[in-house]
Structure 1
């Protein structure tokens, strides 16, 4: 049963409905609501799937960008390390070459000093022999013939006295 009032409030309309009809109407309304709920559930499920797909796409894109950035950083770091290593190698090579050059120069100076020292010894010996020979030359007629051999480690001097 329903009661309706007119807009001005003067007329009252009382409607008496059939119980079966109202039950049918209620069941029909429930079915409509269930269909609406089912459609809403299906749409919600579809929307959730679409949202999940989109979130997955965004996450994959973000991970791809992060992986690419990490790869770029790794490449840069490897290049930086190789440059540093190359500079260290170059510095070690320069230091080695400098030390080798210094050692060679020092060895050369020592060899030169030793040969010069031997040469000075032989020269002094020659001066002594010449001094004695000049005194002795007046008394005999002989010639001096000398031969000198210089090697890296030795200085040989050979003197022959030839009587004529």
Structure 2
């Protein structure tokens, strides 16, 4: 419905619209605003979810890096401990070997000394007996002795002069 007026050669049109049409237009505008709000809300929810995921992934990455640092430190500590144990075992082994070698040396020395003493005693006995005969026969005694770890050898020569 529209009304036309003419004032000083100018036309003026006044239209009166139907209230039903205005109500529908307002409802459409409201729905449009609701769609926009819904779209913005969905976009905001999506951005918030992305940001929370980023924060969670960052936190997990930091935790994983810290765990990795601790694991590296622990492996290094275990290696140092193992190296220290190996070194201590090597030192104990070396001391034991030195002690065994020293004992073997002392036993060998004692055995050689014991055989040497046996030879000397045998020579003293022979010299004592020979001195008694020496006056009668006027002969000289010459001896040669070889002492080894396993046996004793000596040679005695009687030289008549």
What TM-score comes out, normalization by structure 2 length? Answer: 0.84
Say if 2:111 and 2:149, in contact at 8 Å, map to a contact too: no
The size of the alignment, in residue pairs, is 146
What TM-score comes out, normalization by structure 1 length? Answer: 0.83
Question: Structure 1, residues 58-77: CA drift from partner, whole Å, max 9, x if none?
Answer: 11111111111111001000
What does 1:1-164 align with in structure 2 at a 5 Å threshold? Answer: 21-164=18-161
Deviation at 1:56, TM superposition (A): 1.4
Say if 1:142 and 1:162, in contact at 8 Å, map to a contact too: yes
Distance 2:59 2:147 in 1: 81
Say if 2:143 and 2:155, in contact at 8 Å, map to a contact too: yes
Say if 1:115 and 1:155, in contact at 8 Å, map to a contact too: no
Deviation at 1:154, TM superposition (A): 3.0
Q: Which runs of 5+ in 1 are unaligned?
A: 1-17
Tell me the secondary structure at the aligned position of residue 136 of structure 2. coil
Distance 1:68 1:49 in 2: 28
Distance 1:40 1:129 in 2: 131
Aligned CA RMSD, in angstroms, stands at 1.6
Distance 1:151 1:24 in 2: 135
Distance 2:51 2:32 in 1: 28
Distance 1:49 1:96 in 2: 69
Question: Structure 1, residues 67-107: CA drift from partner, whole Å, max 9, x if none?
Answer: 11111001000011011101111111111111111111111
